[in-house]
Structure 1
């Protein structure tokens, strides 16, 4: 049996990978290995490793790499620890191929360790752009450290090939996270309200804001103060916060969220993680996804739901017409939230098509993982694009 080792380090990434994990696990020709790391193992970030276990998966290895610091020095030290720890983990598990998704900084040492151990790497969601985050650098570096590629759309496929990757090893499959929309039993309104211990209001927004990692912590704080100033002007609105990740500045944002909710507990609630079922269920009942999370770009359009994308973190991603891009400005935020309730914008929402696909991506990935000749992946050749 071919051993497929999937690495997951955050709640959001795991949510996108869940259906793929199910399909690998259910395939008699494949053996699923899961390595859980990063914020999954941190009480501060919700110990979301338990969610993986609750979903019926075996975690073959837990790798502690997260330090209690989100400074640039702390992040770099965490990456160094990952390099050492994953070298040992791969030596123990001896996978045939390692699968990673996205653009998190900790993936750089992880895929580097796999390369040195001569284990091929399959990368999901390459070729995308996020110009307002250091992820932009990380994603393309992971592409060059990977031998097999699964992209969300043809535009991204062409970008990966442009980077010198062999076209025969690049597959356009759509966004794997959208498979969840077709497989999960989402909550009713009453069930969702009970799960967050709060009644929805006349208007409701789901808010997630991560640090723009090209900024200093001081600038991150300034921007978030401005955003909270806008949220504070809303009336008859419940704000459902999901907290920031472990990037530099994430802990600062989370403290500011806690302070805001403490002062406005009649109109806001906060969660370290809603989990995939609650998060997707929320998209059925809120008026907009607000902040700078990729979920507003990738998942929200499937619900014909408005997204107010703040700042430049997601700059460069393909987006549906349901996405409104604004600068960090309190008045612009309020104006945008008013705009989504107009008849004109509701007409746009009714016609929205998600450019990231309609699901069934995990099946396509599994078929490639089963059939690809792994020996051919161990020698990497640069592909020259003809101009």
Structure 2
């Protein structure tokens, strides 16, 4: 009998990272995929991206509604509570043998704590990383302690998971899962991309994604936009912020900005193909998304990393850090535009799904019991 593996996804970016693994589970003779969708996927405000998941050929077993219209800290905390209730009902119906969670968002915290109480074993992807500018850091390490098996993106991240008391025999450095998409997905040509996004073919492209720093305020978007005012000859392509504390406020600011600037474009979601194609054609990627540090260098595009949201992460030399001040951002953009390489590939060779599937098949019994591993 196939063992049931439940994969949870709550954001467009996360789905893009997980899609190849989901397909491998779906096609496996050993496992049955149970897909649970939550968070922004189910929100009209964020593009109802569950439709993209279904059009990609996946069957969504459960939809867990959780997002409130508020993105205050109180609203997010209440959304976690709603998610916990929803996941408890979904997991009771699905009865999965294993839950796979990626990353560090609050939706995944709700899924993990529900699975822990319901005695559903957890495998965690991208543990052991640090992001000092967001409360995601604490969520990520909390999920590590609730999970039994761990798939990290670098050896230093693997060591950090072990430092948290996890048995080395259940922690594997497989590399960053998003690299596989970059190496295997046929991307759009510049002509196709520009036509799809209705951009000016005569102008270069900046790709911008700015999320709120959940430990700080959202005012950092203002100096970023001020710095971008210096580039009227560039297509400024923005993707919306996540549903974090202050995310809706940032999106409202971006909507107003794009209405006043005919070279600025705002998208709910570009989709995996659109996003990676835009990265490939961009002269620089700007913002504070983790993809700028992990996946973007593999497409040989420089990154301007704004603020403290990703502080603590490993990053290659093609990433230029700046503070959330106009002059600092302008200087970082200028440095990035002059950068010619090298583009260090520090997050593995891209054969991540194969490595994860190999280890999952070796696990004879999915169990939740584990001991604390003392170094």
TM-score by length of 1: 0.95
Return the alpha-carbon distance in structure 2 between the equivalents of residues 45 and 201 of structure 1: 30
Task: Tell me which of 294, 299, 318 is aligned to 2:295.
Answer: 299
Return the alpha-carbon distance in structure 1 between the equivalents of residues 361 and 127 of structure 2: 20
Return the alpha-carbon distance in structure 2 between the equivalents of residues 158 and 341 of structure 1: 35
Aligned match of 1:358: 349
Return the alpha-carbon distance in structure 1 between the equivalents of residues 143 and 201 of structure 2: 41
Return the alpha-carbon distance in structure 2 between the equivalents of residues 172 and 339 of structure 1: 32
Alpha-carbon shift at residue 20 of structure 1 (Å): 0.6
Return the alpha-carbon distance in structure 1 between the equivalents of residues 26 and 291 of structure 2: 25
CA contact (8 A) 1:120 1:374 kept: no
Return the alpha-carbon distance in structure 2 between the equivalents of residues 88 and 380 of structure 1: 26
Alpha-carbon shift at residue 185 of structure 1 (Å): 1.6
Structure 2: which 5+ runs fail to align? none
CA contact (8 A) 2:8 2:38 kept: yes
In 2 relative to 1, CA 118–327 (structure 1 residues): closer, same or farther, beyond 3 Å? same
Written as runs of structure 1 = structure 2, the 5 A alignment for 1:371-386 is 371-375=362-366, 377-385=367-375
Aligned match of 2:258: 261
- Could you list the per-position Cα deviations for residues 323-363 of structure 1 after superposition, in whole angstroms to 9, with x for gaps in the alignment? 00000111222222222333xx21xx1x2222111211011
Written as runs of structure 1 = structure 2, the 5 A alignment for 1:175-214 is 175-214=176-215
Superposition RMSD on alpha carbons, in Å?
1.1
Deviates more, 1:294-303 or 1:105-114: 105-114
Alpha-carbon shift at residue 163 of structure 1 (Å): 0.3
- Could you list the per-position Cα deviations for residues 228-249 of structure 1 after superposition, in whole angstroms to 9, with x for gaps in the alignment? 1111122421110001000010
Deviates more, 1:267-276 or 1:333-342: 333-342
Return the alpha-carbon distance in structure 1 between the equivalents of residues 271 and 201 of structure 2: 18
Alpha-carbon shift at residue 373 of structure 1 (Å): 2.8
Return the alpha-carbon distance in structure 1 between the equivalents of residues 166 and 134 of structure 2: 23
SS at structure 2 position matched to 1:106: helix
CA contact (8 A) 1:19 1:177 kept: no
Alpha-carbon shift at residue 268 of structure 1 (Å): 1.0
Aligned match of 2:14: 13
SS at structure 2 position matched to 1:4: strand
Structure 1: which 5+ runs fail to align? none
- Could you list the per-position Cα deviations for residues 129-159 of structure 1 after superposition, in whole angstroms to 9, with x for gaps in the alignment? 1000010111001101111100001000000
SS at structure 2 position matched to 1:181: helix
Written as runs of structure 1 = structure 2, the 5 A alignment for 1:278-289 is 278-289=274-285
Return the alpha-carbon distance in structure 2 between the equivalents of residues 378 and 72 of structure 1: 31
Return the alpha-carbon distance in structure 1 between the equivalents of residues 38 and 335 of structure 2: 41
Return the alpha-carbon distance in structure 1 between the equivalents of residues 51 and 232 of structure 2: 37
Alpha-carbon shift at residue 176 of structure 1 (Å): 1.0
Task: Tell me which of 245, 253, 276 is aligned to 1:248.
Answer: 245
Alpha-carbon shift at residue 201 of structure 1 (Å): 4.2
1:330 equivalent to 2:326? Answer yes
Return the alpha-carbon distance in structure 2 between the equivalents of residues 338 and 201 of structure 1: 20
Return the alpha-carbon distance in structure 2 between the equivalents of residues 15 and 260 of structure 1: 27
Aligned match of 2:286: 290
Return the alpha-carbon distance in structure 2 between the equivalents of residues 374 and 128 of structure 1: 27
Return the alpha-carbon distance in structure 1 between the equivalents of residues 250 and 306 of structure 2: 15
State the number of aligned residues.
374
Return the alpha-carbon distance in structure 1 between the equivalents of residues 269 and 232 of structure 2: 25
TM-score by length of 2: 0.98
Alpha-carbon shift at residue 284 of structure 1 (Å): 1.4
Return the alpha-carbon distance in structure 2 between the equivalents of residues 374 and 124 of structure 1: 19
